Amino acid sequence: MNDDDILHVIAVNVVRKTQGDPKAITRSSRLTELGLTSIDVIEVLFDVEEDLGKALGRPIKLDDADIAGETVGDLVEAVKKTLTPQPAGGHAPPPHGTLPHGTPPTGRHH
């Protein structure tokens, strides 16, 4: 599923909620400018999860920490992150130079 597909699913659900013009919805569209309240955004995202789950044949759960964006593009990125396969164990590897759970190394060895 590419960015345009994800954008389309989000746009369809935004239009269902706002009755707005689907052609006016772009990645740079601010959610508040589309007429969405924070509750509306949550409802739209539940619908996006459901629609994508049906399309992909598996449940989709967006990470709450990733859906706090301000633009449609932020939501597209949150969906892409959810759809990107993670390594075994379900977690992305920590950034270089950090220990698991984001703890920076202390330089001390035991």
- Measured distance CA(36)–CA(47) in Å, rounded: 14
**Residue 108 maps to a domain:** no
**Residue 93 maps to a domain:** no
**What is the CATH classification number for the domain harbouring 21?**
1.10.1200.10
**Residue 100 maps to a domain:** no
Q: Residue 17 is part of which domain span?
A: 3-85
User: What pLDDT, in 10s, does the model give residues 14-62?
Assistant: 999 999 888 889 999 999 999 999 899 989 999 999 999 999 899 988 8
* Mean model confidence pLDDT for the chain: 82
**Residue 106 maps to a domain:** no
Give the distance between the most distant pair of CA atoms in the chain: 62
Given a cut of 70, is residue 91 above it in pLDDT? no
**Residue 69 maps to a domain:** yes
**Residue 72 maps to a domain:** yes
**Residue 9 maps to a domain:** yes
Domain tally for the chain?
1
User: What pLDDT, in 10s, does the model give residues 42-55?
Assistant: 899 999 999 999 99
Q: What is the mean pLDDT of residues 52-76?
A: 86
**Residue 40 maps to a domain:** yes
